[in-house]
Amino acid sequence: MIVDLSVIHDAHHPHHVIAIGLLICSIHTLLRPSHWGEQYNSCTGKHQSPININSLDVKKVNLPPLIFDGFDVPPQQTNLTNNGHTVAVTMKSDHIPTISGGPLNGTYQYSQLHFHWGDNDTFGSEDMIDNHIFPMELHVVFFKQDYRNAKTALEHSDGLTVLAFFYEVSERANPRYEEFVTLLGNITSAHKSTTFTNPPSLKDLIAHDTLHYYTYDGSLTTPPCSEVVTWIDFKEPILLSHSQIEAFRALDDEEGHPLTHNFRPIQPLGDRVVLYNTDEIVKDVDLGQPEEPPSEVEQNAIDEPKKERTSGRKNGKDSGAMASMGVSWLVLATAAMAMVFSSYGRD
């Protein structure tokens, strides 16, 4: 996940240029991810991203529905920029998308989106599912509206949420990405930009199934690696043809080299629990909702079997005591008779 703090948006003013870009310091080009912790303490934290999600270890839950507002509204203008690190998208919109519900406490406002990919179809994504690496990943970043902008949101543990969508290779091209991929040919060199003729909405760029997803608490995947992100990884991948993904790999970085491998290595899960939202009925899941007390009829139905079991145990104890006494008398009687017969033998 790459965050641009160079453009700050006020949540109370709807007319903005929504920029996609990078929080890039010169140190990024000098140090590999394994050395980030030398400059940024958070990069060695215990709740870092990305992670490998083991689907057998997740906790299944039935979370409230995610509410996507403004996702189906095409922006007035959308620009693509090769900034040398990723594809940077700039949108001008009167209706800034928001998301709420699901695992989120509050409403989050759209901030930016960007992509991660490798130099072939065997790797490129940041998070993995059951050790499976996807060829590319989309990150759509939101900040909590209470904090007014992305920069302030970084100071709060619930400041950001990222909707992550994986890509898989399909034999057929995805028509929703046709203009997007075509425009990439205009920005193969770093710091070049181009503009959409028909700007897509966010809904056009993401997967159809937004019910099934994994969610966990994590971090930015670039410095400062702030642990302020609620990750929502959708299970259904977006399908692109091999040639469509290759269009991303045809871009050059600032030094004229192929722009690939813009992803961080997997980080330890630690003590975190990954939740999996499903439409299956999940029992005994505590979602923090108070339970209503049972009605009088329901309470009687609960209490009656308990009374019967208690009565049965009491009767069982009495019967057991009587049986025990009977055995004791039988033992004494047998011993007495043995003494009598023994005395007859001695005479």
Which residues carry out catalysis?
85
* Pairing assessment for the beta strands 192-195 and 77-82 based on DSSP bridges: antiparallel
**Within 10 Å of residue 25's Cβ, how many Cβ atoms?**
14
Strands (E), the chain: 16-18, 52-53, 59-61, 66-69, 77-82, 87-93, 98-101, 108-117, 128-129, 136-144, 160-170, 192-195, 213-218, 229-234, 238-241, 275-277
SS3 119: coil
SS3 335: helix
Structure token digits, residue 74: 């095409």
Structure token digits, residue 227: 């642990």
**Residue 153 phi, psi (nearest 5):** -60, -30
Structure token digits, residue 239: 């399908």
How many separate helices (H) and strands (E) can be counted in the chain?
6, 16
Listed residue (105, 70, 112, 71) closest to 91, CA to CA: 112
Structure token digits, residue 65: 């529905």
* Pairing assessment for the beta strands 66-69 and 59-61 based on DSSP bridges: unpaired
**Residue 286 phi, psi (nearest 5):** -90, 110
Calpha distance 189→179 (Å, rounded): 18
Calpha distance 186→193 (Å, rounded): 7
**Within 10 Å of residue 142's Cβ, how many Cβ atoms?**
28
